[in-house]
Structure 1
Amino acid sequence: MQIRFIGVLRPAVVLTVLALAALCTTPAVGAASSARSAAIGLPAGVSAGIAVFDRQTGTFTERLNARARFRSASVVKLLIALDYLWDRGPSYPIPDADRALLDVMLRSSDDGAAGTFWDRDGGGAIVERMVARLKLADTAPPPADRPGYWGYTALSAEDTVRIYRYLLDEAPAPVRDYVMGNLRASTRCGTDGYDQSFGIAAVFDRPWAVKQGWSGFDSNGCATGPAATRPPAPARTPAQTPAPAPADGVDLRRPALHTTGTVGAADRTIVAVFTLHAEGTPYGKAYSDLGAVVRQLNVPGATRTPGSWFGTWGSGVRVRARAGTDSAVLTTLPAGVDVLAGCQKRGQVVTVPPYTNDWWAYLPKYGGWITNIYVSSSGDKLPDVPDC
């Protein structure tokens, strides 16, 4: 992949420093929860709706604009899947062709699969049925003048918690196991070329299950394995292309990035974070800003990978299996994304004029290595990162 250079001066160190509030108890819904949410710092230009629900205590640990309505992007695929499974019963055999579509829609956020079910099962009527079945308060179909844009379905963080609570606590066990099994098998790259391992997946260790959403960005081409060595192919679909104006109080213009799912053993905590970003925000920056928000949240049962967060620069930066350019390419980074460095060591000498460096950082969330040249730091060796 081609690398875009940014001049002769190496980028200054960008360390994401977040102050986490010390919590002695888990707050219930109400004043204590509202006070905690007031401490969540949103990056400049970011609007958010947040709901974090601890299933063990039956309380919200975070609520910030939890009833605000966002365009759902691909999060609506949860409703599309549940609607498909609703009348089939726990032992109904899913046709192989439909199962393949459901799998790729839930694991890799495939838009074509979602469009197939949307058109076949009644479009906006899918959303209306699920609103009635799950008693959703803020969810609504896409605007009447955009009936095919399933990604414009209105959804809130609190309604998303309700969807997961139904799935985990009320749905027939085969439905729960099938849907959640797919969300646990979420792939790093969506089929449209976007890295979908942001938010929950980027911050917390497994076990987790995620359904992500994105709309209004250009991808720099996420790929894994041999495909990661090919040039990126920017992609947009009707579900992701922003509309020219808001509709019914739902902003359809600003780029949207959402992370939803469960974290911890036995799916202890449900997390729903919906975000909107300033127009023109690059995907990597939105990815990083969403991660900065998620890292602040009180998520009971969660385990966080140790390490230090750094910014990166360049486009198509490759993550490799070993600390050398002769090793396999595992994936590529979204341009300008923050990464978690777990440790570092000397490896192959790399030269990207005017820089030369033999230090490599291990990225535990990617399971591989990048040359420190592309990590935003003032020296060859990263500060406060141990040797491997």
Structure 2
Amino acid sequence: MTSGARNRPLKLLFVQTQAEMAGAQEISRILGEGLAALNHGGEAVFEVEHLFLYRKTAAFDAMPGAFFVSRERPSGPLALAGFIWRLFRMMRERKPDVVLTFQHFGNIVAAPAARLAGVPRVIANHVSAPATISPAVRLIDRLIGRIGAYDVITANSRQTWNDYQDYPATYARRLVLVPHGFADRSSNLDKKTARSAFSLPEDAPVIGSVARLHPLKRLEHALQIMPSLPECYLAIAGQGPDAERLKSIATELGIAERVHFTGEMEPERVGDFVAALDLFVFPSVAETFGLAAVEAAQAGVPVVANDIPVLREVLEVDGRPCAALVDTSDIAAFSATVAELLADRDRGAELSALGRMLSKKHSREAMIDTYRGLIEGEGAPAQAGKTSFAGAASTNA
């Protein structure tokens, strides 16, 4: 499937579950932006639109080419039926050549709708950690993947790819490893100016995190180390269902005056926020990639992250970790690691230098090129029992 054969750009429709600033949405945004910028002989190769199943925040209200199936998450049988009908109708009206679905609900809801609407190619993307997916959703995904609702299924890390290796061959043969690329979050602001922009203290040590405020991000562990770091401030950027609980914990611990919740943040401001930090902390227990930690490390800010397999994978360069990895549920060990790294400037500089090399390992251009091939029908697995490692070093049989 090539745009040249059709004498017009291929129409791509990206489908996300909810509209909010989070890692999966950021990946689809920069991927769509990169694909839309491609041209051949001065003509656009792809025409890109983004469809969100429902609106959670105002994050994408002004984004060109962004649409919502529903302004709210549907609840109840009648609302769900109306929602599915609108999704089907919107796909029929837009007539995309390729639909790319993201997250578990995006995959299991939008892929069947795309097939019913006559979309010739569907690429599903696994960007939800297994801990966030219910058994019922996993069962539906497994079933529709086996019967061909997806032409290709991408995984964004080897750890995520490994999570699907016990699936039937008719599902597994569609899997392709496409490591995430990301936007450079380096800022032009110096630390003093960046701190002023976010009302952070100029002279005190400041640690921080960027995350969706969800229980699986375990941001309470970042709060719990603060009593043992009395001179330190904590800044948390993001929104989500765990916000009020986290604020209550800060109050209970007596640290509320040293904790700053900035709320949801536009991608363009994330780099400035990270520039204000002495250290980035990432205690999450459920990731498929850990985009925020990778972005912070590449921006040159030392990172302390939870020691889980996927973060070990993505936060290393040439076999060397570019973050301090620790069991962040061990509050004493977490606190000690943060204190040591704040005090050890040489170690911080070493991690910073390694982190800046992540842009080569997780290349945005390589991700865009790989997706272009998958969209145009190149590089997808063709035999049962074969799994492709697109953009990776090897192919696994």
Q: Given the two structures, how large is their TM-score scaled by the length of structure 2? A: 0.29
| Larger relative contact order (Cα-Cα within 8 Å, sequence gap ≥ 6) | 1
Q: Calculate the TM-score normalised by the size of structure 1.
A: 0.30
Greater share of residues in helix: 2
